[in-house]
Protein backbone atom coordinates (compact mmCIF):
# COMPACT_ATOMS: atom_id res chain seq x y z
CA UNK A 1 0.00 0.00 0.00
CA UNK A 2 1.12 3.52 -0.72
CA UNK A 3 1.69 6.20 1.89
CA UNK A 4 -0.37 9.28 1.02
CA UNK A 5 -1.17 12.63 2.56
CA UNK A 6 -4.72 13.95 2.98
CA UNK A 7 -3.86 16.57 0.39
CA UNK A 8 -3.00 13.80 -2.06
CA UNK A 9 -6.09 11.72 -1.39
CA UNK A 10 -8.40 14.71 -1.82
CA UNK A 11 -6.84 15.19 -5.24
CA UNK A 12 -7.05 11.49 -6.05
CA UNK A 13 -10.66 11.20 -4.90
CA UNK A 14 -11.79 14.29 -6.78
CA UNK A 15 -10.12 12.95 -9.91
CA UNK A 16 -11.75 9.53 -9.52
CA UNK A 17 -15.19 10.96 -8.94
CA UNK A 18 -14.95 13.54 -11.73
CA UNK A 19 -13.91 10.77 -14.12
CA UNK A 20 -16.71 8.54 -12.89
CA UNK A 21 -19.53 11.08 -13.13
CA UNK A 22 -19.58 14.07 -15.53
CA UNK A 23 -22.09 15.82 -13.25
CA UNK A 24 -19.43 16.26 -10.57
CA UNK A 25 -17.91 19.74 -10.71
CA UNK A 26 -15.48 21.57 -8.44
CA UNK A 27 -16.27 25.19 -7.65
CA UNK A 28 -14.71 27.78 -5.38
CA UNK A 29 -12.12 30.46 -4.98
CA UNK A 30 -8.85 29.60 -6.74
CA UNK A 31 -9.68 25.93 -7.11
CA UNK A 32 -7.55 26.30 -10.21
CA UNK A 33 -6.26 29.83 -9.78
CA UNK A 34 -4.77 32.06 -12.38
CA UNK A 35 -7.99 33.08 -14.14
CA UNK A 36 -7.61 36.64 -15.35
CA UNK A 37 -3.99 36.82 -14.25
CA UNK A 38 -0.88 37.42 -16.31
CA UNK A 39 0.93 34.31 -15.13
CA UNK A 40 0.27 30.60 -15.02
CA UNK A 41 -3.02 28.77 -15.16
CA UNK A 42 -3.72 26.27 -12.34
CA UNK A 43 -1.59 28.58 -10.22
CA UNK A 44 -2.90 27.40 -6.86
CA UNK A 45 -5.10 24.33 -7.23
CA UNK A 46 -7.07 25.49 -4.21
CA UNK A 47 -5.83 27.39 -1.19
CA UNK A 48 -4.15 24.19 0.02
CA UNK A 49 -3.04 22.96 -3.39
CA UNK A 50 -5.22 19.87 -3.12
CA UNK A 51 -6.81 20.33 -6.53
CA UNK A 52 -3.63 20.88 -8.51
CA UNK A 53 -3.90 19.40 -11.98
CA UNK A 54 -7.66 18.94 -11.99
CA UNK A 55 -8.29 21.90 -14.28
CA UNK A 56 -5.80 20.43 -16.74
CA UNK A 57 -7.79 17.22 -17.00
CA UNK A 58 -11.35 18.51 -16.63
CA UNK A 59 -11.17 22.06 -17.95
CA UNK A 60 -12.56 25.29 -16.59
CA UNK A 61 -16.14 24.24 -17.27
CA UNK A 62 -15.87 21.70 -14.45
CA UNK A 63 -13.17 23.28 -12.30
CA UNK A 64 -14.65 26.71 -11.77
CA UNK A 65 -12.79 29.60 -10.21
CA UNK A 66 -15.20 32.05 -8.63
CA UNK A 67 -14.95 35.61 -7.40
CA UNK A 68 -14.39 35.94 -3.63
CA UNK A 69 -18.09 35.71 -3.13
CA UNK A 70 -19.07 32.88 -0.82
CA UNK A 71 -22.81 33.54 -0.76
CA UNK A 72 -22.85 33.43 -4.54
CA UNK A 73 -20.84 30.29 -5.12
CA UNK A 74 -22.10 28.27 -2.16
CA UNK A 75 -25.67 29.25 -3.05
CA UNK A 76 -24.99 28.51 -6.72
CA UNK A 77 -23.57 25.12 -5.81
CA UNK A 78 -26.78 24.42 -3.89
CA UNK A 79 -28.94 25.60 -6.76
CA UNK A 80 -26.89 23.54 -9.20
CA UNK A 81 -27.17 20.49 -6.94
CA UNK A 82 -30.95 20.43 -7.14
CA UNK A 83 -30.99 21.05 -10.88
CA UNK A 84 -28.77 18.29 -12.20
CA UNK A 85 -25.15 18.71 -11.08
CA UNK A 86 -23.25 17.17 -8.17
CA UNK A 87 -21.03 20.04 -7.07
CA UNK A 88 -18.11 19.94 -4.70
CA UNK A 89 -17.70 23.47 -3.35
CA UNK A 90 -14.45 24.50 -1.69
CA UNK A 91 -15.10 26.86 1.19
CA UNK A 92 -11.38 27.22 1.97
CA UNK A 93 -11.68 28.01 5.71
CA UNK A 94 -14.77 27.00 7.68
CA UNK A 95 -14.71 30.43 9.31
CA UNK A 96 -16.14 31.72 6.04
CA UNK A 97 -19.50 30.10 6.73
CA UNK A 98 -20.04 33.42 8.45
CA UNK A 99 -20.56 35.08 5.09
CA UNK A 100 -22.70 32.39 3.45
CA UNK A 101 -24.53 30.70 6.28
CA UNK A 102 -27.94 31.76 5.00
CA UNK A 103 -27.38 29.75 1.85
CA UNK A 104 -26.22 26.75 3.87
CA UNK A 105 -28.70 26.58 6.71
CA UNK A 106 -31.78 28.46 5.53
CA UNK A 107 -31.66 27.25 1.96
CA UNK A 108 -29.63 24.15 1.16
CA UNK A 109 -30.20 22.24 4.40
CA UNK A 110 -33.95 22.80 4.38
CA UNK A 111 -34.90 22.19 0.74
CA UNK A 112 -35.83 18.57 1.09
CA UNK A 113 -38.02 19.08 4.14
CA UNK A 114 -39.69 22.28 2.98
CA UNK A 115 -40.40 20.76 -0.41
CA UNK A 116 -42.03 17.67 1.09
CA UNK A 117 -39.24 15.29 0.11
CA UNK A 118 -39.41 16.22 -3.54
CA UNK A 119 -35.82 17.46 -3.96
CA UNK A 120 -32.32 16.10 -3.65
CA UNK A 121 -29.28 18.28 -3.02
CA UNK A 122 -26.12 16.26 -3.74
CA UNK A 123 -23.60 18.84 -2.59
CA UNK A 124 -20.30 18.56 -0.74
CA UNK A 125 -18.80 21.63 0.91
CA UNK A 126 -15.13 21.00 1.66
CA UNK A 127 -13.61 23.25 4.26
CA UNK A 128 -10.52 23.46 6.45
CA UNK A 129 -10.86 23.59 10.21
CA UNK A 130 -8.79 23.96 13.29
CA UNK A 131 -6.17 25.91 15.17
CA UNK A 132 -2.43 25.44 15.40
CA UNK A 133 -1.10 27.46 12.52
CA UNK A 134 -1.07 30.86 14.24
CA UNK A 135 -3.81 32.07 11.91
CA UNK A 136 -5.79 33.97 14.53
CA UNK A 137 -9.45 34.10 15.39
CA UNK A 138 -10.96 34.17 11.88
CA UNK A 139 -9.01 31.34 10.23
CA UNK A 140 -8.72 28.75 13.02
CA UNK A 141 -12.17 27.76 14.21
CA UNK A 142 -13.84 24.37 14.29
CA UNK A 143 -17.56 25.28 13.96
CA UNK A 144 -18.67 21.65 13.57
CA UNK A 145 -21.00 21.99 16.57
CA UNK A 146 -22.95 24.76 14.85
CA UNK A 147 -23.11 22.78 11.60
CA UNK A 148 -24.00 19.51 13.33
CA UNK A 149 -26.94 21.28 14.95
CA UNK A 150 -28.53 21.98 11.56
CA UNK A 151 -31.11 19.35 10.51
CA UNK A 152 -30.60 18.50 6.86
CA UNK A 153 -26.80 18.75 6.87
CA UNK A 154 -24.41 15.84 7.23
CA UNK A 155 -21.06 16.60 8.85
CA UNK A 156 -17.87 14.63 8.23
CA UNK A 157 -14.59 15.10 10.11
CA UNK A 158 -11.96 12.59 9.04
CA UNK A 159 -8.84 12.15 11.16
CA UNK A 160 -6.61 10.46 8.57
CA UNK A 161 -6.05 9.98 4.85
CA UNK A 162 -7.59 6.50 4.68
CA UNK A 163 -10.86 7.75 6.11
CA UNK A 164 -10.69 10.92 4.01
CA UNK A 165 -10.67 8.92 0.80
CA UNK A 166 -13.51 6.60 1.79
CA UNK A 167 -15.64 9.29 3.35
CA UNK A 168 -15.12 11.82 0.55
CA UNK A 169 -16.12 9.21 -2.01
CA UNK A 170 -19.24 8.50 0.01
CA UNK A 171 -19.93 12.24 0.37
CA UNK A 172 -19.73 12.91 -3.37
CA UNK A 173 -22.03 9.96 -4.13
CA UNK A 174 -24.48 10.93 -1.37
CA UNK A 175 -27.68 12.77 -2.28
CA UNK A 176 -27.74 15.08 0.76
CA UNK A 177 -25.67 18.19 1.49
CA UNK A 178 -22.46 17.25 3.29
CA UNK A 179 -20.07 19.50 5.19
CA UNK A 180 -16.65 17.85 4.80
CA UNK A 181 -14.25 19.30 7.35
CA UNK A 182 -10.58 18.53 7.17
CA UNK A 183 -8.11 19.67 9.81
CA UNK A 184 -5.32 21.86 8.49
CA UNK A 185 -2.69 20.24 10.70
CA UNK A 186 -3.37 16.80 9.24
CA UNK A 187 -3.13 17.75 5.57
CA UNK A 188 0.49 16.74 5.12
CA UNK A 189 0.65 13.71 7.36
CA UNK A 190 0.94 10.35 5.64
CA UNK A 191 -1.09 7.21 6.05
CA UNK A 192 -1.39 3.96 4.14
CA UNK A 193 -4.09 4.40 1.53
CA UNK A 194 -5.07 1.83 -1.13
CA UNK A 195 -5.05 2.98 -4.72
CA UNK A 196 -8.39 1.38 -5.50
CA UNK A 197 -11.70 3.10 -4.78
CA UNK A 198 -13.65 2.36 -1.62
CA UNK A 199 -16.37 3.99 0.43
CA UNK A 200 -16.85 4.35 4.19
CA UNK A 201 -20.46 4.69 5.36
CA UNK A 202 -21.51 7.73 7.37
CA UNK A 203 -22.46 7.13 10.99
CA UNK A 204 -19.94 4.35 11.63
CA UNK A 205 -17.30 5.19 14.19
CA UNK A 206 -13.78 3.81 14.08
CA UNK A 207 -12.18 2.24 17.16
CA UNK A 208 -8.61 3.48 16.91
CA UNK A 209 -7.57 1.87 20.23
CA UNK A 210 -9.32 -0.91 22.06
CA UNK A 211 -9.54 -1.02 25.83
CA UNK A 212 -11.83 -1.61 28.75
CA UNK A 213 -10.93 0.86 31.52
CA UNK A 214 -11.83 4.23 29.94
CA UNK A 215 -13.48 5.35 26.70
CA UNK A 216 -12.13 8.42 24.95
CA UNK A 217 -14.22 9.88 22.15
CA UNK A 218 -12.08 12.23 20.07
CA UNK A 219 -12.72 14.13 16.89
CA UNK A 220 -10.54 15.06 13.93
CA UNK A 221 -6.96 15.88 14.91
CA UNK A 222 -7.75 15.14 18.56
CA UNK A 223 -7.91 11.44 17.70
CA UNK A 224 -4.12 11.31 17.43
CA UNK A 225 -3.61 12.96 20.80
CA UNK A 226 -6.08 10.53 22.34
CA UNK A 227 -4.22 7.62 20.74
CA UNK A 228 -0.92 8.87 22.13
CA UNK A 229 -2.42 9.09 25.61
CA UNK A 230 -3.86 5.60 25.26
CA UNK A 231 -0.46 4.24 24.23
CA UNK A 232 1.27 5.98 27.13
CA UNK A 233 -1.24 4.72 29.69
CA UNK A 234 -1.13 1.22 28.27
CA UNK A 235 2.44 1.00 29.54
CA UNK A 236 1.01 1.52 33.03
CA UNK A 237 -1.58 -1.16 32.51
CA UNK A 238 -4.44 1.28 31.95
CA UNK A 239 -6.56 0.13 29.07
CA UNK A 240 -8.05 2.99 27.05
CA UNK A 241 -10.51 2.66 24.19
CA UNK A 242 -10.43 5.48 21.63
CA UNK A 243 -13.42 6.11 19.39
CA UNK A 244 -13.31 8.35 16.35
CA UNK A 245 -16.92 9.06 15.32
CA UNK A 246 -15.68 10.24 11.87
CA UNK A 247 -19.06 11.83 11.20
CA UNK A 248 -20.86 14.00 13.73
CA UNK A 249 -24.10 13.97 11.73
CA UNK A 250 -25.09 11.18 11.64
CA UNK A 251 -23.38 10.24 14.91
CA UNK A 252 -22.66 6.63 15.83
CA UNK A 253 -24.23 6.79 19.28
CA UNK A 254 -24.36 3.04 19.51
CA UNK A 255 -20.58 2.62 19.33
CA UNK A 256 -20.09 5.14 22.11
CA UNK A 257 -22.81 3.69 24.35
CA UNK A 258 -21.56 0.14 23.84
CA UNK A 259 -18.02 1.14 24.73
CA UNK A 260 -19.13 3.02 27.84
CA UNK A 261 -21.17 0.00 28.86
CA UNK A 262 -17.87 -1.88 29.16
CA UNK A 263 -15.60 0.85 30.50
CA UNK A 264 -18.09 2.83 32.62
CA UNK A 265 -15.88 5.88 32.11
CA UNK A 266 -15.95 8.53 29.39
CA UNK A 267 -13.66 11.37 28.33
CA UNK A 268 -14.63 13.41 25.28
CA UNK A 269 -12.01 15.46 23.49
CA UNK A 270 -13.17 18.22 21.15
CA UNK A 271 -11.17 21.16 19.83
CA UNK A 272 -14.33 23.30 19.71
CA UNK A 273 -15.15 25.71 22.52
CA UNK A 274 -16.85 23.96 25.39
CA UNK A 275 -20.36 25.42 25.30
CA UNK A 276 -22.67 23.49 22.98
CA UNK A 277 -19.70 21.53 21.66
CA UNK A 278 -19.83 17.99 20.34
CA UNK A 279 -18.30 17.08 23.68
CA UNK A 280 -21.32 18.58 25.44
CA UNK A 281 -23.64 16.85 22.99
CA UNK A 282 -22.09 13.41 23.40
CA UNK A 283 -21.94 13.94 27.15
CA UNK A 284 -25.67 14.56 27.28
CA UNK A 285 -26.40 11.54 25.08
CA UNK A 286 -24.42 9.24 27.35
CA UNK A 287 -25.87 10.82 30.50
CA UNK A 288 -29.38 10.20 29.20
CA UNK A 289 -28.98 6.83 27.53
CA UNK A 290 -26.03 5.25 29.30
CA UNK A 291 -26.32 6.58 32.85
CA UNK A 292 -26.50 3.18 34.44
CA UNK A 293 -23.21 2.20 32.80
CA UNK A 294 -21.30 5.14 34.25
CA UNK A 295 -18.99 4.54 37.18
CA UNK A 296 -17.53 8.03 37.21
CA UNK A 297 -18.49 11.53 36.05
CA UNK A 298 -18.07 12.26 32.33
CA UNK A 299 -15.08 14.50 31.59
CA UNK A 300 -14.87 16.92 28.67
CA UNK A 301 -11.58 18.22 27.31
CA UNK A 302 -12.28 21.15 25.02
CA UNK A 303 -11.03 24.57 24.03
CA UNK A 304 -12.08 27.38 26.37
CA UNK A 305 -14.98 29.77 25.72
CA UNK A 306 -12.76 32.29 23.90
CA UNK A 307 -11.94 33.13 20.31
CA UNK A 308 -8.83 31.36 18.99
CA UNK A 309 -5.85 33.48 20.07
CA UNK A 310 -2.97 34.48 17.81
CA UNK A 311 0.05 34.46 20.13
CA UNK A 312 1.67 31.00 19.87
CA UNK A 313 1.81 30.45 23.62
CA UNK A 314 -1.87 31.32 23.97
CA UNK A 315 -2.92 29.21 21.02
CA UNK A 316 -1.00 26.23 22.41
CA UNK A 317 -2.87 26.70 25.67
CA UNK A 318 -6.18 27.03 23.81
CA UNK A 319 -5.97 23.70 21.96
CA UNK A 320 -6.52 20.58 24.10
CA UNK A 321 -3.20 18.76 24.55
CA UNK A 322 -2.15 15.30 25.63
CA UNK A 323 -1.48 16.39 29.21
CA UNK A 324 -5.05 17.65 29.62
CA UNK A 325 -6.45 14.47 28.12
CA UNK A 326 -4.25 12.32 30.36
CA UNK A 327 -5.30 14.28 33.43
CA UNK A 328 -8.95 13.87 32.56
CA UNK A 329 -8.50 10.12 32.24
CA UNK A 330 -6.63 9.88 35.55
CA UNK A 331 -9.27 11.97 37.33
CA UNK A 332 -11.99 9.44 36.70
CA UNK A 333 -10.04 6.22 37.12
Active site residue 305: no
β partners of residue 244? 206
Helices assigned H by DSSP within 26-175: 54-58, 70-81, 101, 111-114, 144-148, 161-173
Q: Which is nearer to another protein, 78 or 132 (CB)?
A: 78
- For another protein, the binding residue among 10, 44, 50, 64 (CB under 8 A) is 64
Total binding residues toward another protein, as defined by CB under 8 A: 46
- For another protein, the binding residue among 31, 63, 81, 131 (CB under 8 A) is 81
Smallest CA-to-CA distance from 223 within 207, 202, 234 is with 207
Contact 211, 230 (CB under 8 A): yes
Rounded to a whole number of angstroms, the minimum distance from the CB of residue 211 to another protein is 30
- For another protein, the binding residue among 98, 151, 297, 304 (CB under 8 A) is 151
- In the three-class reduction of DSSP (H, G, I as helix; E, B as strand; rest coil), residue 45 is classed as coil
Helices assigned H by DSSP within 192-321: 222-234, 253-263, 278-289, 312-318
Per-position x/- string for 210-249, each x denoting binding to another protein as judged by CB under 8 A, each - no binding = ----------------------------------------
Smallest CA-to-CA distance from 199 within 158, 234, 232 is with 158
Catalytic residue selected from 139, 144, 183, 224 = 139
Choose the stretch contacting another protein; rule: CB under 8 A; options: 10-18, 110-118, 125-133, 320-328.
110-118
Rounded to a whole number of angstroms, the minimum distance from the CB of residue 107 to another protein is 6
**Contact between 133 and another protein per CB under 8 A:** no
Neighbours of 313 (CB within 10 A): 8
Distance of CA 161 to CAs 71, 166, 190, 213, 323, Å? 29, 9, 7, 29, 26
| Residues known to be catalytic | 139
Q: Interface with another protein by CB under 8 A: which residues?
A: 23, 25, 61-62, 64, 66-67, 69, 71-85, 87, 102-103, 106-107, 111-120, 151-152, 154, 174-176, 203, 250
Amino acid sequence: MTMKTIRQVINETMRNEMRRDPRVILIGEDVAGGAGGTGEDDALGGAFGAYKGLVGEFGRERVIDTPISESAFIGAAGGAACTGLRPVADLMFVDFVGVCFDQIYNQIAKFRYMFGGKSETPLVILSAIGAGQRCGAQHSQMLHPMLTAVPGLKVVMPSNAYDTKGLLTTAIRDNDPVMFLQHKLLLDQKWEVPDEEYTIPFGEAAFTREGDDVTIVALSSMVHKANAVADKLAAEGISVEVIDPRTTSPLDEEAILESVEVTGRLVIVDEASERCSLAADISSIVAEKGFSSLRAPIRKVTAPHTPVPFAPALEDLYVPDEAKIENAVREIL
